[in-house]
Amino acid sequence: MNVEIRSVTSDDWQFILDIRNEKEVRDASLNDEIISKETHQKYMKKLEERTTNVYQRIILYNKQTVGYVKVVDEEISYMIMKEFRGKGIGSQFFVIVFKELKELGITKIRASIRIDNVSSLNLGQKMGYKYTGIISKNNKPFAYKVEKKL
């Protein structure tokens, strides 16, 4: 299996928006609303203009664009196209990402994973994330807070 990552360019913004608005991705996200193209472009420009604490990569599988990972202020999130989930891509790209983040001087990362997102919870556990708390929504547990020392 050939998993690589590369830097994000503005040419990737539509792909990122498309995958972000997939129903399954929205259902696994803390914010499950559809994002408009205008809102997305403003957000991506804002990230692009930041000079610190932003890391964005496109995930490639056999040279094909299949996902996106970002770290903003040590908070990591990722998305993989539906047809490429469950193939071990996540554990492979995380190894590469963790190495790059360490080289950038980042010593820990955090994530918020919805309680019903079993695949991400399993991957997080496999990659060494530790549970640090719970996020509630409407007085019910909604997501786990996790972190990993790099």
Residue 9: predicted pLDDT:
96
Q: Are strands 54-61 and 75-80 parallel, antiparallel or unpaired?
A: unpaired
DSSP 82: G
Beta bridge partner(s), residue 6: 58
Q: Who has greater pLDDT, 51 or 89?
A: 89
Give the pTM.
Answer: 0.92
Of the pLDDT bands very low, low, confident and very high (cuts 50, 70, 90), residue 51 is confident
Mean pLDDT over residues 122-141, rounded?
Answer: 95
3-149 has CATH 3.40.50.360 classification: no
pLDDT digits (tens, 9 = 90+) for 100-124: 999 999 999 999 999 999 999 999 9
d(CA 50, CA 87): 33
| pLDDT score for 141 | 95
For residues 82-110, average pLDDT: 94
Terminal CA-to-CA distance of the chain, rounded, Å?
24
CA–CA distance, 80 with 62 (Å, rounded to integer)? 14
User: Residue 123 burial by CB count (10 A; 0-12/13-18/19+): exposed, middle or buried?
Assistant: middle
Block residue for tokens 């490429």: 84
Contacts of 101 (CB under 8 A, 6+ apart): 55, 71, 109, 150
Whole-number percent of the chain with pLDDT over 70 = 99
